[in-house]
C-alpha cells in the first residue's frame, strides 16, 4: 500500500477469536476475507454510507474479484489492524486495498477486493451519475 495515501485510509481493528483458528492454533485463511468485509462495512459506515442506507437507496455491491497475499500467520487473541483504502473508483468498479498487521507491526496479509454496483434488478449502476453524493464520499 502506498504510504503517501494512508491519510485517506480507514483503520479497523479485529481480535482473532478462538473459533477462527484451526487444529494447529493458526487462523484459518478464510477468516481474512471475512475481516476484509468487516473492515469494508465499518469504513462505509464511517463515511455515512452503511449497507442499510445503500440497500434503502437500491444499491448493492457484489464482490467481483478478490486477491489475498498471506505474509505471516496469526493466532488466538492476536490483535490485527486492518488498513482499508480506496485504490480506484471511477463510478462503476470500486477497488479497495487492505493491509493487515499485528500490533507489533508484523505484516500479516495484503489484499485487494473489487466490487461493482447494481440495482435491485441486477443491472449495473454508474454511481458517479446516479448517486453522485456516494461517489464523492468514496473519492
Q: Which pLDDT score is estimated for 1?
A: 54
CATH number, residue 89: 3.10.129.10
Give the other-Cβ count within 10 Å of 4's Cβ: 7
Q: What is the pLDDT of residues 19-56, one digit of tens each?
A: 999 999 999 999 999 999 999 999 999 999 999 999 99
Residue 7 DSSP one-character state: G
Q: Which pLDDT score is estimated for 139?
A: 82
Structurally, how many domains does the chain consist of? 1
DSSP assignment of 56-122: HTT-B--EEEEEEEE-S--BTT-EEEEEEEEEEESSSEEEEEEEEEETT--EEEEEEEEEE-B-TTS
Residue 27 DSSP one-character state: B
Q: Which pLDDT score is estimated for 82?
A: 98
Q: What is the pLDDT of residues 87-134, one digit of tens each?
A: 999 998 999 999 999 999 999 999 999 999 999 999 999 999 999 999
Domain that holds residue 9: 3-138
Residue 57 above 80 pLDDT?
yes
Amino acid at each position: 500500500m502506498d504510504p503517501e495515501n494512508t491519510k485517506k485510509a480507514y483503520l479497523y481493528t479485529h481480535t482473532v477469536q478462538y473459533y477462527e483458528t484451526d487444529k494447529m492454533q493458526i487462523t484459518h485463511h478464510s477468516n481474512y476475507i471475512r475481516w476484509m468485509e468487516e473492515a469494508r462495512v465499518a469504513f462505509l459506515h464511517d463515511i455515512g454510507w452503511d449497507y442499510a442506507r445503500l440497500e434503502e437507496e437500491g444499491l448493492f455491491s457484489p464482490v467481483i474479484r478478490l486477491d489475498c497475499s498471506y505474509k505471516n500467520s496469526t493466532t488466538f487473541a492476536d490483535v490485527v489492524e486492518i488498513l482499508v483504502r480506496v485504490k480506484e473508483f471511477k463510478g462503476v468498479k470500486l477497488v479497495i486495498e487492505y493491509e493487515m498487521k499485528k500490533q507489533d507491526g508484523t505484516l500479516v496479509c495484503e489484499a485487494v477486493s473489487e466490487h461493482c454496483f447494481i440495482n435491485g434488478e441486477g443491472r449495473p449502476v454508474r454511481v458517479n451519475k446516479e448517486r453522485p453524493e456516494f461517489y464523492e464520499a468514496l473519492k
